[in-house]
Structure 1
Amino acid sequence: MKEKISITAISSLSPLGETTHEIWNAYLNNDHYFSLMKENGHKVWVAPLSKSAKLNVETLRKSDQKYKKLDDSVLFAILASRKAIEQAGWQNTSNFGINMGSSRGATKLFEEYHQEFLNTGIASTLSSPTTTLGNISSWVSHDLGAIGPEISHSITCSTGLHSLLNGVAWLNSGMVNKFLIGASEAPLTNFTIAQMKALKIYAKAEARKEITGKELDKEFPCQALYLEKEANSMILGEAATVACLEPGKVSNALAVIEGVGYATEILKHNTSISTNAECFQKSMKMAMGPLALTDIDAVVMHAPGTVKGDLSEYNAIKTVFGGSMPLLTTNKWKLGHTFATSGLLNLELAILMLRHDTFIPSPFFKNRVRKGKLKRVLINAVGFGGNAVSILLSKNE
């Protein structure tokens, strides 16, 4: 990196809540935030937004006629962006860039419009403009009155951290001096869940006893970072996370981006990465740069709750760190896999842990005894196709 980058705000809507206080309190308890919903006549585990966040989304939808036809993914991003801008003190500026990513985009709205077309043979007037991927960033830009560049992209489940990479690149280029990055995902639709089930990676509502070891609590349907599980346990969640980035180390920074790393593996299968996740090995090494292995205190893993996914990432970390293993954790056992947003929720967890100097563990993984304060945390994300991203975050000292 040409210059370190400060994160001056981060805001999210997720199953854990929408304020920093309630999100941190949710991390401090040992509960999960899953519930069972009916999908094609069967019960399935999902992680919806918190009740307060859902209420605010509906309030926004009803606040203006133009919002009524927008997908949840757009509304999530608008709300999170408003709060981030306020937190960073950017209300009086419009000259900043925006990059909003999403793996699936306007999933619910697209499915509804397509079903309507199948039924009538006619496409609705707004079916195209309200379901394009650029719909998210353009509406956020419109809502905030921003005049800088606006970008949308999809790089599957590492999309959120790729938004961060883009923000860092723009800031380091000197073309802008403020950048809003984020991701939004509203994937709790029948078709999206059916796609995950077709891959045989989704948690089964009736099979918790099969995937839970005797020594573990049977109330955890997703067992991300339980390396001895014999069945996949991924569960989808919905969320949006937005962060404000500024160049250099500024006094109001929540945390500082010290390094970024990225890598892609050559595909052997549409959904898999190698046994030792070579893409993660490369991305983590790149993000750490010349730092000693012992300088990394913790890693917030991607760990989606699948048998091969969790284990391959762990193998990559073990290969890179050897006998200097940092603390390992994941948040997907608590709030599910939010596709594009998952990497930025990992970033949020890392920021909260650094600011509170408190490590939040997974109930399924036994770490070494921690020594010293949390100063640097590595954040991982990867998507279909082995496109890994790693971000090195440090405390603003």
Structure 2
Amino acid sequence: MNSPVYITSIASVSPLGKTSEEIWERYKDPKHLISSHDFNGMTGYAAFLPKELKEELAQFRDSKPHFRNLDQSVLYAVFASREAVKRSGWSVGGNIGINIGSSRGATQLFEKYHASFLNLGKAEILASPSTTLGNISSWVAQDLQSSGPEISHSVTCSTGLHAVLNGIAWLQAGMADKFLVGGSEAALTPFTIAQMKAMKIYASQYLDFPCRALDMEKTRNSMTLGEAAGVLCLEKNPENSIAKIGGIGYATEKLKHSVSISANAECFQKSMKMAIGAIPLDEIDAVVMHAPGTQKGDKAEVNAIREVFGEQHPALTSNKWKIGHTFGASGILSLELAILMLQHQEFIPVPFSVFQKAPKQLKNILVNAVGFGGNAVSVLVNKS
């Protein structure tokens, strides 16, 4: 990185809730937030937003007429962005750059409009404008009345951390002073669950912990999905900040299959080394892993960490055992966990994992994400 970039606030909506206090308390509770649901006659395990937060978002949707035609992925992003900007102290209407992406975009509306097309033989009027991926950043910009650039993108499950890379690039190029970055995903639909099951990576047993992320002894895949939006406010020289981005890394590896990853996750090895830079390896205290709960995915990432750090690697954790995989928002929620651990100086382990030993301190935490296509991103975050 050419110059430091700071996080002045973070806000999210997820199965953990929305306030920093309730999110932290739920992280400290060793229970997961995944439950069994009926998706049009098909059973699937997923982590939804809490009932009270769903009700608040329903009222938020009704607060403005144009909100009623938005997909939930857009609504979640608008809601979280308002809170992030408020926490950062930014003025509404300022020159704020926005990059909020999504792996799947307007999933619920797209499936609704497609079902209507199959039934009626014609598309509804708002089918196209309300299902484009650009809806997310565009509507956040409309709501915040910002005048900066607006970017929406999909890099599958590493989308949120790629947004962080983009925001940093704009700031360091001097093309923006403030950037709002993140990811949003509301893809808990029958078709999405069916797609995950078709790849045979989805949890098929309701155990004490349906998602066995970082259980290195699991004998089957156990990925589950969750829904969430998370956004960060980034600045170069803020008066106040909650964390500093100490390094960024990215890499793409050659694939043998469209959803594969190499046994030692070469992409992660490269992205982690780039993010760490010249910092001594023994000063990295923890890694918040991507760890989706699949056998090959979890093992490959652990192998990559051992290749970089050796057997005396940092403490390892993940949040997907608790809230499921939130696709494009997942990297931001992992960053949120890292920031909370830095603030509270407390390590949150995976209850059933062998990687439970807490580090002596929490100063530098590495956050990983990877998506279909072999694209990995690592972000090093430390106390500001």
Q: TM-score, normalised by structure 2?
A: 0.98
Deviation, 1:372, is 3.0
Question: In the alignment, is residue 135 of structure 1 matched against residue 143 of structure 2?
Answer: no
Aligned to 1:382: 370
Aligned to 1:298: 286
Work out which of the residue numbers 213, 217, 222 in structure 1 matches 2:211.
222
Cα 1:371/1:35, change in 2 over 3 Å: closer
Aligned to 1:334: 322
CA–CA separation in structure 1 for the residues paired with 2:281 and 2:167? 26
CA–CA separation in structure 2 for the residues paired with 1:284 and 1:234? 23
CA–CA separation in structure 1 for the residues paired with 2:214 and 2:36? 22
Partner secondary structure for residue 99 of structure 2: strand
CA–CA separation in structure 1 for the residues paired with 2:256 and 2:146? 42
Aligned to 2:162: 162
Q: Residue deviations 1:113-140, cap 9 Å, x none?
A: 0110111111111100000000110000
Question: In the alignment, is residue 53 of structure 1 matched against residue 53 of structure 2?
Answer: yes
CA–CA separation in structure 1 for the residues paired with 2:356 and 2:183? 33
Aligned to 1:244: 233
Deviation, 1:307, is 0.5
Equivalent residue letter for 1:89 = G
Deviation, 1:56, is 1.8
Q: Residue deviations 1:147-190, cap 9 Å, x none?
A: 00000100000000000000000000011110000110001000
Deviation, 1:369, is 4.4
Aligned to 2:184: 184
Equivalent residue letter for 1:230 = T
Partner secondary structure for residue 164 of structure 2: helix
Aligned to 1:345: 333
CA–CA separation in structure 1 for the residues paired with 2:80 and 2:359? 35
Aligned to 2:272: 284
Aligned to 1:107: 107
Question: In the alignment, is residue 67 of structure 1 matched against residue 55 of structure 2?
Answer: no
Deviation, 1:245, is 0.1
Q: Is the 8 A contact 2:92 2:146 kept in 1?
A: no
Q: Is the 8 A contact 1:224 1:364 kept in 2?
A: no
Equivalent residue letter for 1:372 = K
Q: Which moved more, 1:221-230 or 1:50-59?
A: 50-59
Q: Is the 8 A contact 2:314 2:359 kept in 1?
A: no
Cα 1:268/1:65, change in 2 over 3 Å: same
Count of paired positions: 384
Partner secondary structure for residue 306 of structure 2: helix
Give matches, 1:79-98, under 5 Å.
79-98=79-98
Equivalent residue letter for 1:245 = L
Q: Is the 8 A contact 1:31 1:334 kept in 2?
A: yes
CA–CA separation in structure 1 for the residues paired with 2:40 and 2:129? 29
* Alignment root-mean-square deviation, CA: 1.1
Deviation, 1:36, is 1.3
Question: In the alignment, is residue 318 of structure 1 matched against residue 306 of structure 2?
Answer: yes
CA–CA separation in structure 2 for the residues paired with 1:242 and 1:313? 25
CA–CA separation in structure 2 for the residues paired with 1:136 and 1:323? 42
Q: Is the 8 A contact 1:233 1:305 kept in 2?
A: yes
Deviation, 1:323, is 3.5
Cα 1:196/1:308, change in 2 over 3 Å: same
Q: Is the 8 A contact 1:293 1:324 kept in 2?
A: no
Structure 2: gaps spanning 5 or more residues: none
Question: In the alignment, is residue 35 of structure 1 matched against residue 35 of structure 2?
Answer: yes
Q: Residue deviations 1:358-385, cap 9 Å, x none?
A: 0000112233744532000000000001
Q: Is the 8 A contact 2:37 2:46 kept in 1?
A: yes
Deviation, 1:39, is 1.8
Partner secondary structure for residue 69 of structure 2: coil
Aligned to 2:348: 360
Aligned to 1:258: 246
Identity of aligned residues (%): 59
Deviation, 1:219, is 1.3
Aligned to 1:117: 117
Q: Is the 8 A contact 1:301 1:379 kept in 2?
A: yes
CA–CA separation in structure 1 for the residues paired with 2:264 and 2:105? 31
Deviation, 1:294, is 0.2
Deviation, 1:276, is 0.3
CA–CA separation in structure 2 for the residues paired with 1:353 and 1:390? 17
Q: Residue deviations 1:283-310, cap 9 Å, x none?
A: 0000000111101000000000000000
Cα 1:188/1:82, change in 2 over 3 Å: same
CA–CA separation in structure 2 for the residues paired with 1:386 and 1:56? 37
Q: Is the 8 A contact 1:379 1:390 kept in 2?
A: yes
CA–CA separation in structure 2 for the residues paired with 1:135 and 1:337? 22
Q: Is the 8 A contact 2:213 2:318 kept in 1?
A: yes
Q: Which moved more, 1:309-318 or 1:84-93?
A: 84-93
Equivalent residue letter for 2:229 = A
CA–CA separation in structure 1 for the residues paired with 2:62 and 2:357? 50
Q: Is the 8 A contact 2:34 2:45 kept in 1?
A: yes
